[in-house]
Amino acid sequence: MVGGNATMQYRNLGRSGLKVSQLSYGAWVSFGNQVDVKEAKALLQCCRDHGVNFFDNAEVYANGRAEEIMGQAFRDLGWKRSDLVVSTKIFWGGNGPNDKGLSRKHIVEGTKASLKRLGMEYVDVLYCHRPDTATPIEETVRAMNYVIDKGWAFYWGTSEWSAQQITEAWAAAERLDLVGPIVEQPEYNFLARHKVEVEYVPLYTNYGMGLTTWSPLASGVLTGKYNNGNIPPDSRLALDNYKNLASRSLIDDVFKKVDGLKPIAAALGVPLSQLAIAWCLTNPNVSSVITGATKESQITENMKALNVVPLLTPNVIDKIEAVIQSKPKRMDSYR
């Protein structure tokens, strides 16, 4: 890479053979709400230029429009399908009683509808976007395996499931001699750590679960741009659908932590956003950190986080922990 940029590394998605870029790009919020096909093409091209091969979507994003935009952009760019790792997520597909959840009916119909919007024969990874307590786990496991057997997806995973639910899915898969979920997609950042660092720990060794984590910047809060109650008009916290996010996120204690992190980033000579993304990558169980951006300049800045990872020595990590004070207590630390 030119200009002293770190080269993108590719990590196995959990224990699978699938290689994903350690930084990836997600269509949540932006595609369909803030970005059309023309802009999407520029953003995706910028991602590819930086070595990104993994692109994340969901049937619910902009009510399906995000998948249409991404699929159209890929076609216009003329990229080879095998060079891309594309994921989507099934759960909220519409307003009808069978348009949501993880029934066999919705998984099969929802997947076919997603592929049609994307204009693709298959996705590489298909996620269950949330747990569905109204559907037996065995039904969901069988349906995800049906989708894989049909060649509509190569792997399946979960998003925002509990360790208990993932364990139950694996128990059903093993009992039925079927494929279990290989990846979970949780939120992970300085402020949200318990699931990744405590709750899921047995899953990494027991099932080889990988993680594709989202919201490394806590919806932009960790960039520092919202400090002093400032909400830029072009930011995602300014969008009507995300007003509840704003009220929840803008808490004084969080701002104090963000202010405390600024000197650490400054001492390394990097923006706070890059420090936050790089920190997520230091966790060996994270296969890929999903980033979001509405401007090419944001992508370029996010990708520079790769240069920051080697700077995060144990000493720097200790300084970060002293400020954020969010390290979850491991059960074994009570012994």
Instruction: Exactly one of 61, 188, 200, 242 is catalytic; name it.
Output: 61
Residue 144 and residue 132 in contact, taking contact as beta carbons nearer than 8 Å: no
Distances (CA, A) of 273 to 3, 39, 294: 20, 23, 15
Long-range pairs for 318-323 at CB < 8 Å and ≥24 separation? 319/264, 320/190, 320/261, 320/264, 320/275, 320/279, 323/257, 323/260, 323/261, 323/264
Closest residue by Cα to residue 13 from 87, 76, 73, 82: 87
Tokens standing for 109?
Answer: 């119909």
Tokens standing for 115?
Answer: 């592929």
Residue 30 and residue 293 in contact, taking contact as beta carbons nearer than 8 Å: yes
* Residue 207 bears catalytic tag: no
Residue 279 and residue 271 in contact, taking contact as beta carbons nearer than 8 Å: no
Catalytically active residues are 61
